[in-house]
Amino acid sequence: MKYYLIAGEASGDLHASRLMRALKEQDPEAEFRFYGGDQMLAAGGTMVKHYRELAYMGFVPVLLHLPTILRNMRQAKHDIVTWQPNVVILVDYPGFNLDIAKYVKANTQIPVYYYISPKIWAWKEYRIKNIKRDVDELFSILPFEVDFFEGKHHYPIHYVGNPTADEIKEFLKEKDKKEEPRGEKPIIALLAGSRRQEIKDNLPTMIRAARKFEKNYELVLAGAPGIDEEYYNQFIGGTGVRLVKNQTFDLLSKSHAALVTSGTATLETALFGVPQVVCYETPLPQLIGWLRKKILKVKYVSLVNLIADSEVVPELVADTFSQQNIETNLEAILSGSERERMLAGYQEVWARLGKENAPKNAAKIMIELLSKTI
């Protein structure tokens, strides 16, 4: 069968590449054409455009690059219609992908599958109308989404397990086979986000807070893909913070505690059993703090707390983000009862994630559904 995939950023590239490999295992004749990245290219198939040409985040960058974004959308729509795949598989990246879904549904008979469902439970819940209208099958990697889509909106979805949990299990299995020396000091890991603006907003305060403990702990910063060392050097120069690139899992496997900017990194940190403080600075913190309580549809911002449905990790966001609050919460998890309580909460997260091998589960369901339409 012919599969057309669209992933718009680094995480989507990773998850899509694993899905492609799982599809190929179960469908040896699989052909792939895609918008994506290097990992999808390594999995095989034809890349139409790299996600670097798509990934504009935030109001101003999107506005500045609107002609390019619209041109990319037109090209993708035309390419799908020309190639005539058996299915279009959209991976996260809702701003772009929901527009593609609308076009494909309105102008073709090609089924639209969405792998890694848009996080409309946090905001833009109105998008449920578009999803119901334009998406034939929705595949979720977060267990609490089942109740949101099926319970609240009466739209059936497939929960297939969580690929991040799969990746960490694989990493730990391989790591157990190796004996690695530990450093002299235990590590406090700093994970400050994957975009320049996030890093600029969060990292300086995170470093100032963590340096209170540098006598007894080594401070190590996880560099994000696509961010060069020079950008980090303006923040870590003269601080004693060590930068590691493309080694986040290895760093977390050795860490004693972590300061983490909200996102998938909070879940990764939890699954490695590393107590953490979630830190996220915003502009106009008092206003954003108030709006968060009034507008956000969920109680928490970190995936850890959302999955557990309780406050397993502290969230210092907007009006609660400060050096003093980070220091206080970090000190509480370096030892003692708060650390033990958090580690126990992580076990609940593991339990709720459930099913193993998300890409394989998703591929099996996709092929079964498609076989009925051929």
User: Coil, helix or strand for 91?
Assistant: strand
Structural domains in the chain, CATH included, are: 2-161+355-371 (3.40.50.2000), 167-353 (3.40.50.2000)
Return d(Cα 6, Cα 97) in angstroms, integer: 7
**Are the C-beta atoms of residues 369 and 26 closer than 8 Å to each other?**
no
The tokens describing 73, both together, are: 């959308």
CA distance to 69, 111, 141, 157, per residue, from 135 (Å): 22, 8, 16, 11
The tokens describing 45, both together, are: 């198939």
Give 198-201's long-range contacts (Cβ < 8 A, gap of 24+): 198/261, 199/224, 199/227, 199/231, 199/232, 199/235, 200/235, 201/281, 201/282
99 burial type by CB count under 10 A (0-12 exposed, 13-18 middle, 19+ buried): middle
pLDDT for position 164 = 92
pLDDT for position 60 = 46
pLDDT for position 295 = 55
Those residues whose C-beta lies under 8 Å from the C-beta of residue 173, and which sit 6 or more positions away, are none
pLDDT for position 355 = 78
140 strand-pairing partners: 159
Average pLDDT, consecutive stretches of 10 residues, N- to C-terminus, the chain (374 residues): 92 93 96 95 95 59 60 90 97 91 97 94 90 97 95 96 92 77 87 89 96 96 89 94 95 97 91 96 58 63 94 91 96 96 96 90 97 81
Cα 201 to the center of its chain, rounded Å? 19
Those residues whose C-beta lies under 8 Å from the C-beta of residue 322, and which sit 6 or more positions away, are 205, 316
